[in-house]
Chains A and B, each alone.
Chain A
Amino acid sequence: MTKIYLYTRYERFWHWIQALLIVLLLVTGLEVHGVYTLLGFKRAAAWHESLGVTWLVLFAFFVFWLFTTGQWKQYRPTTRKLFEVIRYYAVGIFRGEPHPVKKHPDAKHNPLQRLTYLGLAALLLPVQMISGLLYWTYNQWPAWGLGFLSLDAVAVVHMACAFSILIFFVVHVYMTTTGHTLTAHVAAMFSGWEEVEEGEVEDWERARKGA
């Protein structure tokens, strides 16, 4: 076992703020959807709007950071070792086998994580933000030449993304317990330091490659 500094202060800040925003957006959004009554429709909707706009601003910072630091390369999708990772979570984890992909500051994510986070950051969250922004600006559509849109469709897309994020959230929280101890991954997300098994990272796994 060895300790490595895996997550920078900005990444940790970004991660937890986003987590907080997503939880609050889910709580207020589901109330607006009529699932339960907590804050009352008016306050739920107002908070949902404000939280959404806040998230949008922070997401813009994240994207900026991602491209200026080159960290986007951590998210390059690959199928190499993908099935080994899947096999690990399906079988190996029960047998006490080691994780097939080692972590390294240049290779923070295994292939399954890369695909998941890329899908999240490049597809699901942008679609969610755009559909939310459209939903919010519903009254301006005709003035913006978007009169052809239907609120029905936008709402369905927004809701479908919300459910997807909820499902991701459930699985993601569970996956944090799959480190060598139950709290190892979570602790790393707070301190930045993660205790990982020693081992070499292959060249192709490194983000730095081709930089």
Chain B
Amino acid sequence: MGWIWRTALLLAAVLLAAPGVPGAAEEPPGGGKEAQGRVMARQATKEQQLWITADHTKHEALKKPFASGPEVTQACLSCHNQAALQFHRTIHWTWLDPSEPPERKVGKGGLTVNNFCVAVPSNEPRCTSCHAGYGWKDKNFDFNDPAKVDCLVCHETTGTYKKFPTMAGNVVTEPTVFPEDKVEYLPPDWNAVAQSVGRPARNNCGSCHFHGGGGDGVKHGDLDSSLTNPVKSLDVHMGTKESGGQDFDCARCHTTKLHNIAGRIYSTPAAKERKSLVQDDLTSKITCESCHTATPHKSAKMNDHTDKVACQSCHIPEYARVLPTKMYWDWSTAGKMKDGKPFKTKGPLGKPSYDSKKGDFVWDEKVVPEYYWFNGSITNTTAKDKIDPSRTVRLAWPVGERSDPNARIMPFKVHRGKTPYDPVNRNMLIPHLFGKDDAAYWKSYDWNAALKAGMDYVGLPYSGRYEFVETEYVYPITHMVAPKDKALACEQCHARVGRLAGLAGFYMPGRDGSRLLDWLGWGGAAAALIGVALHGLGRAFSRRKKEDNQ
């Protein structure tokens, strides 16, 4: 409604014949009503209350001595008798996309490849420490065993429960140091962690999601340990109360039904409907619109953007604002030795730039996202899919185009790298990286053996030849929402060369225009100026001549 205000002002100024018009063109005074969703969210988080009706320290079942995780799980299931059955059907357990045909095996538990450590199969003990289960060490893991569910990793609240990085989701039974980072892991005090259970906090989710790819901030760029206790300027919702934030935990937005947690699942949009709590107070809260509605701004023109531009595009101007994130990973340079031994080189930002096991890395911080049309789905490439090695292979890529009514312009982190593929069969390869056997790349540094072992493990053919191809892998940037005064200014996109310079197929004021028309227009204006200047000169000249003659 800003224009009514300004128009009234202008008219008033005009009719009173006032010479000037007051400045400030920003917003109407007083402001409009606040979005209902925001009011409700504020109410819900105003006080930290006990949300549950049970005090787990008083449960007899949790007081008995435990020797292992599965025993704790059994105790949990003695009351929560549907929990494991529910959990078994979720993507946190299967690591497979439920919407894809099972034979495609889409998901990190299947044949999907990325350009980080490439794939889980044949490397399970090193990867499945982030599985919410115990003992997924190879393809014989029993996905139907209720006792294998790890309730604690998501629900314990002491912060002391840590799964050892290479033990397939198990915890240590005696103090053990992880040689790579020299961190010591202690066996848990089972009773203490079991009795501490509650709703998952940021630490619980973060123990895996902040460290995807084996290190802090490696994968996402908008999810790292800086979000454990962030200030408001890093994340306006998760920021601490002291810094003026809302202190939301992950589950505030990632709402849950029967252990199904709202969020991205590969080819299925996290939320198909963009409803707000104003329209439907049972709607899941995963989209910004759930709380803010589709018209969150006071200015109508700003609200006109929400049909085509995701909130994140303007409100997350940069990601990795505190900790660096990995941007490039070149596997083709792995395997170099120094004095016959593998080595690591530390690069700028205090992060490794080379590792014999993994190749070259590039890290970056305060990164400006790339923008693409996105309808909520992401395509994934599996080791079975045919690829075109003559160009960059998009291992994960956003789906959507301008004409798609559900697609919006969304910011992404694009992780690029060089990743092994089979030039004969034309598919990506799964390397066997981790293990004590000689085929493991990280033991023998023999690509051929590692790739053969990896492909044999998943039952896919390998020609015996490998090369490295440029690959891209996207992550939607959706966390680290900045306070509104830090949102992008209009001209970041509405400019001849702005953030959306690469998005074609639509007209954007400030960026686009007919170059021919501009040329004609300015040419015409210049011609008019020159024309009248010459005419004026002619008049001045003829007048002087006349005066001279008189």
Contacts and interface: CB of A to CB of B under 8 A. Distances in A.
B301 A45 contact: yes
A139 B294 CA distance: 13
B32 interface: no
A204 interface: no
Contacts of A138: 304
Contacts of A94: 538-539, 542
A41 to B, nearest CB: 4
A136 to B, nearest CB: 8
B406 to A, nearest CB: 15
A34 B532 contact: no
B438 interface: no
Contacts of B14: 17, 54, 58
Interface stretch (A106-114, A156-164, A186-194): A156-164
B307 interface: yes
Given A139-B307, A156-B517, A159-B517, A47 B509 contact: no
13 contacts: A34-B511, A37-B491, A41-B491, A45-B301, A46-B3, A46-B25, A50-B7, A57-B11, A93-B539, A151-B506, A151-B507, A167-B525, A174-B536
Contacts of B536: 174, 177
Nearest to B13: A54
Interface string B512-524: 1110011011101
Contact of A166 (B490, B521, B546): B521
B10 interface: yes
B494 interface: yes
Given A34-B496, A93-B539, A163-B521, A54 B513 contact: no
Contacts, number: 119
Interface string A30-59: 001110010111110111011101100110
Contacts of B512: 152, 155
Given A42-B490, A46-B25, A155-B509, A170 B542 contact: no
A150 interface: yes
Contacts of A156: 513-514, 517
Given A41-B491, A45-B490, A163 B528 contact: no
Report the interface size class on chain B: 35 or more
Given A34-B494, A156-B514, A54 B525 contact: no
B6 interface: yes
B517 A163 contact: yes
A155 B506 CA distance: 12
A166 B526 CA distance: 10
Nearest to B491: A41
Interface in B279-336: 299, 301, 304, 307
Contacts of A96: 542-543, 546
Given A47-B25, A57-B7, 18 more contacts: A32-B510, A34-B511, A34-B513, A42-B490, A42-B491, A45-B494, A46-B6, A53-B7, A93-B539, A94-B538, A96-B543, A151-B507, A155-B509, A163-B520, A163-B522, A167-B525, A170-B528, A174-B532
B509 A33 contact: yes
A95 B9 CA distance: 50
Contacts of B85: none
A159 B539 contact: no
B489 interface: yes
B347 interface: no
B2 interface: yes
* 9 cross-chain pairs, A with B, having the tightest CB-CB distances, nearest first: A163-B521, A50-B6, A174-B532, A41-B490, A41-B491, A94-B542, A151-B507, A170-B528, A139-B304
Given A47-B6, A139-B304, A170-B528, A41 B510 contact: yes
Majority DSSP secondary structure for residues of B touching A:
helix
Contact of B532 (A50, A54, A171): A171
A33 B3 contact: no
Contacts of A50: 2-3, 6-7, 9-10, 25
A45 B509 contact: yes
B11 A49 contact: no
Interface residues of A, number: 44
B495 interface: yes
Contact of B490 (A40, A89, A95, A151): A40
Contacts of A33: 509-510, 513
A91 B9 CA distance: 48
A163 B524 contact: yes
- Most B CB contacts (10 A, CB to CB) among A17, A32, A54 go to A54
A55 to B, nearest CB: 9
B529 interface: yes
Nearest to B495: A34
A170 B529 contact: yes
B139 interface: no
Given A34-B496, A150-B507, A170 B304 contact: no
B10 A54 contact: yes
A117 to B, nearest CB: 17
A167 B522 CA distance: 9
Interface in A45-91: 45-47, 49-51, 53-54, 57-58, 89
Contacts of B443: none
Nearest to B496: A34
A62 B370 CA distance: 49
A40 B491 contact: yes
A34 B490 contact: no
Contacts of A34: 494-496, 509-511, 513
Contact of A54 (B7, B507, B524, B531): B7
Given A33-B513, A177-B536, A159 B491 contact: no
